[in-house]
Chains A and B, each alone.
Chain A
Amino acid sequence: MPVTQRERSLDEVFGALADPTRRAILVRLTHGEATVNELARPFTISQPAVSRHLKVLEQAGLISRSRRATARLSRLEPEPLRDALTWLVSHREFWEESYERLDELLAALQDEPDAPTTDTDGRSTS
């Protein structure tokens, strides 16, 4: 099932996003490509530390890197992020919609407390 691969990469994306510095780096990159130096500037951490964060982001597919002369440029890859956000929204939607249906079911059951609890949607179970 393709879902497996997707789950695995979501694991990596969420792992990468679990760190506030990495999220800040991504936000910075939404303004355009940047060098390691430029990315390190707003933080109180060393350039090698920023490089380690960039490596994690790159492995998760959230950024890509290229060279310009002696500098390495990082660039945002928004697709995995969109996937992750869609997934988060859908988890909340899953439960919100489930509970709306539960509300309806409980209301129906209370209208007719002795009614048999047969399937009303006509779908079969095995």
Chain B
Amino acid sequence: MNELTIDAPTGVPQVTMRREVDAPRELVFRAFTEPDLLKQWLGPRRLTMKIDRFEARDGGRWRYLHREEDGTEYGFHGVFHGDPTPDQMVQTFEFEGAPGHVSLDSARLEERDGRTTIHMNSVFQSVEARDAMVASGMADGVREGFEQLDELLGRLATVG
């Protein structure tokens, strides 16, 4: 029920994600826009999140780092477009390891019966960039190919 749905349609430089949470949307909105809350959930547990700046307003900048235990850091930054609201949070997103690959991310929170569905949408500059940065493996058609390859690679690995 709280399953994460990721959709990366073939031929379109876009990824959509959907996830339901058991909380009213005002609270979810705070978790998305207050840095002290954001760093408590965004990213895998093994990574430490450090927020350089997070100005959740029209034209505000954000930058954060995810740090591995071995000290390796991954930096991300972007700019907010429009004052974020539960109906619309729009920002650019750039991974500092792949400069120039900027995506336009928007999120929308939809509440029903005290539960909230989080809708996220990322648009990349090309299908290739989308596939490289995100989940082409989830896309129709591509997925089958990957499952097939995955299986066969597993077999190869056991052969040596």
Contacts and interface: CB of A to CB of B under 8 A. Distances in A.
Nearest to B130: A14
Given A3-B74, A10-B132, A101-B40, A85 B150 contact: yes
Contacts of A46: none
Contacts, number: 149
Interface string A1-17: 10110111011011101
A70 interface: no
A92 interface: yes
B145 A17 contact: yes
B112 interface: no
Nearest to B97: A3
The residue among B27, B52, B74, B99 with the most chain A CB atoms within 10 A of its own CB is B27
Q: How large is the interface on B (under 10, 10 to 19, 20 to 34, 35 or more residues)?
A: 35 or more
Contact of B146 (A76, A85, A97): A85
B115 to A, nearest CB: 10
B153 A119 contact: no
Nearest to A97: B44
A96 B40 contact: no
Given A92-B4, A106-B31, A125-B51, A14 B145 contact: no
Interface residues of A, number: 51
B34 to A, nearest CB: 6
A102 B44 contact: no
B135 A92 contact: yes
B51 A95 contact: no
B136 A119 contact: no
B70 to A, nearest CB: 12
Contacts of A44: none
20 contacts: A1-B96, A3-B98, A7-B101, A11-B129, A15-B132, A18-B142, A23-B145, A23-B149, A78-B156, A85-B150, A95-B17, A97-B43, A98-B43, A98-B44, A101-B45, A102-B31, A103-B2, A103-B22, A105-B31, A119-B39
